[in-house]
Chains A and B, each alone.
Chain A
């Protein structure tokens, strides 16, 4: 192993260790950094806020535990917002473990001030359905064929929250929390563009840039929550200091550190290049 390579690997480990420490400290000692609301999150919030009372909102849990840091705070904040406005929440999942994520999110919100909410009346978990876009297309024709019963096996005709919903078009709005495919894209294609249902959603930060083009004048997507930052903004909008708000301190500090590392790396690369050029000239 050359001396340079050894040095690079040593530096790499210093970066990891520094990042580890810098992210840990704000989690133990929160800094209380402020979060500004962006129009993307405001639009998503307004979609729920301005929906008529007792609207039926689908929250699609299209993710699994690997992305709960970013998406679970969004789910909890959106459920709480829906219930405050008196909306009925219908949970669906295009990912197998999404149904469990929905149960966990409902339980969390119920434990934190919404013990009066009744399963079947204020919310329902319809569970996972495979098929992505094809399934959603079928949902547009007949809801009951795709979801004849909820997770517990109760026929949807006997669930009060599902009364009057025959097809996807009867839903007032859709919020897809998506970590990949199938997910938000399928909802945009089918619910928004085909059946003209209002669609908004939240994604992991890594997926967010790909969805920004759908927030346009045609309103293919009404706002977008991208990553932990957007989750903290949503928490701020509903006046809750939740997990995302606390974790954003660590996120912000880590970003500053990475900017410092990028600057140091560029200065170092510039100096090496100049040194090499000088050596070649001599």
Chain B
């Protein structure tokens, strides 16, 4: 039975892989069917996963195990219930309260951390003497980092019209931005090809047994 289910699972995977790929030729019922099943299956999976791996261990088990010690968990449990009121049109306004609490908490935690990580640490990381580098390539890299940072930020300075001499750093900034966009595009291509390789690996290995 287990063997049959394994083979059946592989054939299902093959069917859905080809159904999704068929969109590359043109839109068709097989693609639409696969898309809808994927959406439905994902929603169902998340629902079950949330119950078994979030709700039960973090709320129900603790409340059943030692109610007095974990009574404070009733508050998030209650807020969670309020969140579900979104499905009742007349009461959906109540769901804004737990939602606002989640947003406020996340913002409160993230602002401090984000300021530290994305501003303070990033600024201090560009404050160094590039001429103290051990090798020439490190020195050039350091100089490029400083010039790129300053010119890149200057490009986004919109309070004064950038013309004449003041436009030069901005133009250099654009070049740095273009280079970074190019690098991002290269990485994006790599990621997409990796996904294709993953699917082909499944077809050639698990289905056709052409590779080990």
Which A residues lie at the B interface, using CB under 8 A? 13, 16, 19-20, 23-24, 27-28, 66, 68-70, 96-97, 99, 127-128, 130, 133-134, 137, 188-190, 192-194, 204-206, 208-209, 213-214, 216-218, 220, 226-229, 243, 247, 250-251, 254-255, 258
Contact = CB atoms under 8 A, between A and B. Distances in A.
Contacts of A189: 113-114, 116-117
A217 B189 CA distance: 29
Contacts of A16: 24
B196 interface: yes
9 closest A-B pairs by beta carbon, nearest first, are A69-B198, A216-B125, A206-B191, A205-B191, A205-B190, A189-B113, A205-B187, A254-B193, A209-B184
A77 to B, nearest CB: 16
A188 B117 contact: yes
A255 B197 contact: no
B190 A217 contact: no
A73 to B, nearest CB: 10
Given A130-B54, A209-B183, A216-B125, A27 B196 contact: no
B197 A228 contact: yes
Contacts of B117: 188-189, 192-193, 214, 220
Nearest to A93: B53
B186 to A, nearest CB: 8
A258 B211 CA distance: 25
A209 B187 contact: yes
B125 A217 contact: yes
A103 to B, nearest CB: 13
Interface residues of B, number: 41
Interface in B150-197: 180, 183-184, 187-197
Contacts of A243: 201
B106 interface: yes
Given A28-B211, A134-B106, A70 B191 contact: yes
A228 B114 CA distance: 29
Contacts of A13: 24-25
Contacts of A193: 113, 116-117, 121
Given A134-B109, A209-B180, A28 B210 contact: yes
B168 to A, nearest CB: 24
A220 B121 CA distance: 8
Contacts of A133: 106, 109-110, 113
A23 B197 contact: yes
Given A133-B110, A227-B187, A227-B190, A68 B198 contact: yes
Contacts of A24: 200, 204
B53 A128 contact: yes
Contacts of B109: 133-134, 137
Nearest to A186: B113
Contacts of A68: 198
A27 B206 CA distance: 13
Interface string B23-64: 011000000000000000000001001100110000000000
A16 B53 CA distance: 40
B204 A28 contact: yes
Contacts of A213: 122
A23 B49 contact: no
A224 to B, nearest CB: 12
A56 B196 CA distance: 35
B190 A228 contact: yes
Contacts of A137: 109, 113
A20 to B, nearest CB: 8
A12 to B, nearest CB: 8
